[in-house]
């Protein structure tokens, strides 16, 4: 791709590919769907350094609280919210941020972690768990496997 010397390179949100292409070229502009600012491609999305620019799909961990606020506005009576996410997100900083945002706003968060390879049976089980635990609403982090 770089050897063909295009005017611009447009990439999806594959961290490894973005880093690899950026390593191969500095003069060719790279426009990418950046998975997050935390991925380290740029330090400031408003003024990206180097040849990488794009759109950040994730504006930072504080967005978890904002997403919960928006959900609360849409469903003001929600007091138990299921959080559907890949296990590593659910049990990591992102999941903890949702739980903390819920605690601050008086909402109980029901963690529903899935494997990245989750298929229809795992989703059925997840929705049964949400029903059994009387979830009022569902929040998902929008990262695979939940986007398909």
Query: CA gyration radius for the chain?
Result: 19
Which pLDDT value is given to residue 146?
58
Work out the number of other CB atoms within 10 angstroms of the CB of residue 109: 21
Mean pLDDT confidence for 111-136: 91
- Report the SS3 class of residue 128: helix
Domain limits at 35?
2-56
- Specify if 145 maps to a domain: no
Q: Domain total for the chain?
A: 2
User: Domain boundary residue among 16, 35, 56?
Assistant: 56
Question: Tokens standing for 8?
Answer: 């611009």
Distance in angstroms (rounded) separating the CA atoms of residues 50 and 105: 40
Task: Based on the fold, state whether residues 51 and 69 are members of the same structural domain.
Answer: no
Same domain, 30 and 73: no
| 48 and 72 within one domain | no
Among residues 133, 134, 132, 112, which one has the least CA distance to residue 123?
112
Same domain for 30 and 79? no
Q: Is the pLDDT score of 137 beyond 90? A: yes
Between residues 119 and 61, which one has the greater pLDDT? 119
């Amino acid at each position: 791709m770089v050897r063909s010397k295009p005017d611009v390179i447009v990439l999806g949100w594959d961290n490894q590919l973005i880093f690899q292409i950026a390593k191969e070229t500095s003069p060719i502009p790279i426009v990418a769907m950046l998975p997050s600012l935390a991925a380290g491609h740029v330090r400031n999305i408003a003024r990206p350094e180097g040849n990488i620019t794009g759109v950040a799909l994730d504006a930072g961990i504080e967005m978890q609280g904002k997403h919960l606020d928006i959900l609360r506005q849409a469903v003001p009576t929600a007091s138990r919210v299921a959080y559907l996410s890949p296990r590593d997100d659910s049990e990591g900083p992102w999941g903890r941020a949702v739980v903390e945002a819920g605690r601050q706003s008086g909402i109980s968060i029901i963690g529903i972690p899935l494997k990245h390879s989750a298929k229809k049976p795992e989703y059925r089980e997840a929705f049964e768990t949400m029903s059994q635990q009387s979830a009022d609403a569902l929040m998902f982090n929008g990262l695979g496997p939940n986007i398909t």
